[in-house]
Amino acid sequence: MNTHTQTTPATNILADFASLNLVEPLMQAVTESGYTKPTPIQAQSIPALLEGHDLLGLAQTGTGKTAAFVLPMLQRMMANRKQPQPKSARALILTPTRELAVQINDSIKTYGRHLPLRSTVIFGGVGSVPQINTMRRGVDFVVATPGRLLDLMNQGHVSLSSVEFFVLDEADRMLDMGFIRDIRKIVASLPVRRQTLLFSATMPNEIADLANSLLTKPKRVEVVPQSTTAERIDQIVYMVSKTNKRRLLAELLNGPGVTRSIVFTRTKRGADRVSEQLERDGIRSAAIHGNKGQSARQTALNSFRNGSVKVLVATDIAARGIDVDGISHVVNYDLPLEPESYVHRIGRTARAGATGIAISLCDGEERSLLRDIEKIVRMKIPVVDDHPLAKGGGDAGAGEQITLHRAQSIRQDQERTQERNPGRGPRRGGGGAGHGGGDRNRGGQARGEHRGERSHAARGDRDRAPAKNADFRGGDFREQEARQPRTERSAQARTERPAQPRGEARADRSHNRPEARTENRDARPARRDDRPRRDDGGESRFEADRRQAGAQRNDARRSEAPVRASEPRREPVRPDGEHRRIDYRARAEQGERAKPGVHRGPGSSRPAR
């Protein structure tokens, strides 16, 4: 494709929507929605789209991108009114998340409320039967996520053969989520003659290659430089340890001016934990991430919109689909692994010309991520260091000095210990100045002096082991064993185990031979009752009574058993005393003779002819 890009000049900014040449039903819907002046991306995109050009739009979230492509598509559809084909749509809009799909569908219904056009959404997490029934009649707009749309296409419930408008929204986020292969499969099913729009907040090389393969002589609209944050957002960062993050987060959210805020975490499990902690601190919150069902996610968003929930805890996947007005603060509880995601996170605040505050909590392991973010946003984020909990973060230099000072003090303590006990020597694991196991050696000393007592056995001096270990009993021994780690207890057991004789002194193992096993088996008592019993009171009264009762029961069973005499089997006899013998052949011959008309010759069993 010819992908020569024409850049729209940024000076072409219109004063109001009336200058965009929109039809009366659209102007009425825009006025009813409370919009009078278009945003920069709307003012530059709508005229180019009304002329039928492809578009490459670079703008951050919250700049009015949805209206920039929905309004011209509505007007062009009404200018060329057609009946949608069954199982197909005239316009296809792909989004990375379900929330964003619902948001765009709501915008289509809002701006097209006075037009006879129909739209629907297709995404996972819900049943597919209602979506299949809606597509069976055909619609004008389909807003879908790639996964569910591809499934319905493979099942034959959706056809893209009559698509006239194709919009790829949040293309960079789709690339991060791994949808690029599904997108190429969907694009392969689209007709060649179509109007294509691609919107993205950032423009990595992969998105540039995708735009070159999809767009034909597109108009390029870029209202702000790539990967920069909104000027109305005040960004600050707290250097805090990981253990103090939750306490600091609760104090910040309870502070003045925090009316509605979003907290972003790196993992789904982390979002649930943070939400539960905020609930325990008395802050109404709800979590939203990919493991939540669509109904639960929509319920959490609705509660956040109507104000019943003050804080919404979300992951990066849900960052693009949250379009709620009046968000005063965005808190990065965990810094994102991709610095581009930082731009989308803080873009949830300062929407539609408002202002907002973005707060980041950075621990010692996330400082490299903070440096990457500062490179991509092209600014140094101010650090707040006057909070008591934020002092635990410190800087890298102070952390190294503290660690070095601690190592020096440990080494000095070890040298003093060796001076007091010159014969003991350094323990295993490195205890001298030239070894690096300082903390572990200190821990070994703190676990008790019994470790030094075992050093005699460790050196092979078992005979000189202190007699204190031999008769050490009672509660003190159990206390010492409880304080002693399991690995040391096992080492002590191996050390105190008596030495096994070697070579000829080793015990005879001839008992493993078959004849030896037979002798041992014969030497054992036959039954438990035949074993000798102690007469010194070793058997309790209860055991004796139970044994006697068992013996009486066995004797009673043997005496009551019926005696069965073994008699020889009797053969059935005839009354005359002879054994009965049946001659079946003679009986058959008698029956044949009794039949009329049958004659047999002598000695013949067959009838004569």
pLDDT at 394 exceeding the cut of 80: no
Q: What is the mean pLDDT of residues 517-534?
A: 49
Q: Give the integer Cα–Cα distance in Å for 606 and 540.
A: 90
- The stretch 457-465 carries a mean pLDDT of 42
Query: What pLDDT, on the 0 to 100 scale, is given for residue 341?
Result: 82
Q: How far apart are CA 462 and CA 480, in angstroms?
A: 21
- Whether the predicted pLDDT of 329 surpasses 70: yes
Distance (Å, whole) CA 384 – CA 388: 10
CA 591 → CA 581, 595, 599, distances in Å? 18, 7, 12
By CB atoms closer than 10 A (0-12, 13-18, 19+), residue 190 is middle
Q: Which two tokens stand for residue 93?
A: 């809009």
Quickly state the pLDDT bin for 591 (edges 50, 70, 90): confident
Whole-model pTM over 0.95:
no
Gap between the Cα atoms of 239 and 387, Å rounded: 10
DSSP string, 183-245: HHHHHHTS-SS-EEEEEES---HHHHHHHHHH-SSPEEEESS-TT---TTEEEEEEE--GGGH
Structure tokens at 504: 């000829």
Q: How far apart are the first and last CA of the chain?
A: 106
What are the extents of the domains in the chain? 6-222, 233-395
- For the chain, how big is the Rg over CA atoms in Å? 45
435 pLDDT band, cuts 50/70/90, is very low
Question: In the prediction, which pLDDT does 205 show?
Answer: 83
Of the candidates 260, 222, 204, 205, the one whose C-alpha atom is nearest the C-alpha of residue 63 is 222
- For 233-395, which CATH superfamily applies? P-loop containing nucleotide triphosphate hydrolases (3.40.50.300)
Whether the CB-CB separation of 274 and 265 falls below 8 Å is answered with yes
Taking a C-beta distance cutoff of 8 angstroms, is the pair 66, 139 a contact? Answer: no
Lowest-confidence segment of 25-39, 309-323, 496-510 by average pLDDT: 496-510
pLDDT at 479: 45
Average pLDDT of every residue of the chain: 75
The pLDDT assigned to 399 comes to 32
Q: Which tens digits make up the pLDDT trace of 477-497?
A: 444 444 455 555 555 555 555
pLDDT reported for residue 426: 42
**Which is nearest to 264 in space by CA: 305, 202, 318?**
318
pLDDT reading at 71 higher than 60? yes
For position 195, what pLDDT does the model report? 95
Mean pLDDT of 155-163: 94
Q: For residue 407, is pLDDT > 50?
A: no
**CATH architecture label of 6-222:** 3-Layer(aba) Sandwich (3.40)
Three-class secondary structure assignment of 41-86:
HHHHHHHHHHCCCCEEEECCCCCCHHHHHHHHHHHHHHHCCCCCCC
Q: Which of 270, 278, 275, 277 is nearest to 296 (CA)?
A: 275
- pLDDT reading at 601 higher than 80: no
- pLDDT exceeds 90 at position 146: yes
With a pLDDT cut of 70, the percent of the chain lying above it is 63
Residue owning tokens 């000027």: 231
Average pLDDT over every residue of 331-337: 93
Using CA atoms, how far apart are residues 13 and 8, in angstroms rounded to an integer?
11
Q: How confident is the model at residue 396 (pLDDT cuts 50, 70, 90)?
A: very low
Which pLDDT does position 49 carry in this prediction?
Answer: 94
The per-residue pLDDT for range 549-564, each reduced to its tens digit, is 888 888 877 766 555 5
For residue range 200-250, list pLDDT tens digits in order. Answer: 877 878 888 888 999 999 999 987 654 455 567 889 999 999 999 999 999
pLDDT band of 294, cuts 50, 70, 90: confident
Nearest CA to 68 out of 94, 41, 92 is that of 41
Which of 70-74, 233-237, 407-411, 509-513 shows the highest mean pLDDT? 70-74
Report the pLDDT value the prediction gives residue 98, as an integer from 0 to 100: 86
* Residue-level pLDDT at 251: 92
Q: Where are the alpha helices (DSSP H) in 447-598?
A: 450-453, 455-458, 475-483, 486-496, 514-523, 541-560, 584-594
Domains 6-222 and 233-395 alike in fold: yes
As a whole-number percent, the residues of the chain with pLDDT over 90 amount to 36
Check residue 283 and give its pLDDT. Answer: 93
- Is 453 a residue whose pLDDT tops 50? no
3-class DSSP state for residue 163? coil
Complete DSSP assignment for 81-139: --PPPTT-EEEEEE-SSHHHHHHHHHHHHHHTTTS---EEEE-SSS-SHHHHHHHHH-E
pLDDT digits (tens, 9 = 90+) for 169-180: 988 888 877 888
What pLDDT is stored for residue 379 in this prediction? 87
**In angstroms, rounded to a whole number, what is the distance separating the alpha carbons of residues 8 and 532?**
108
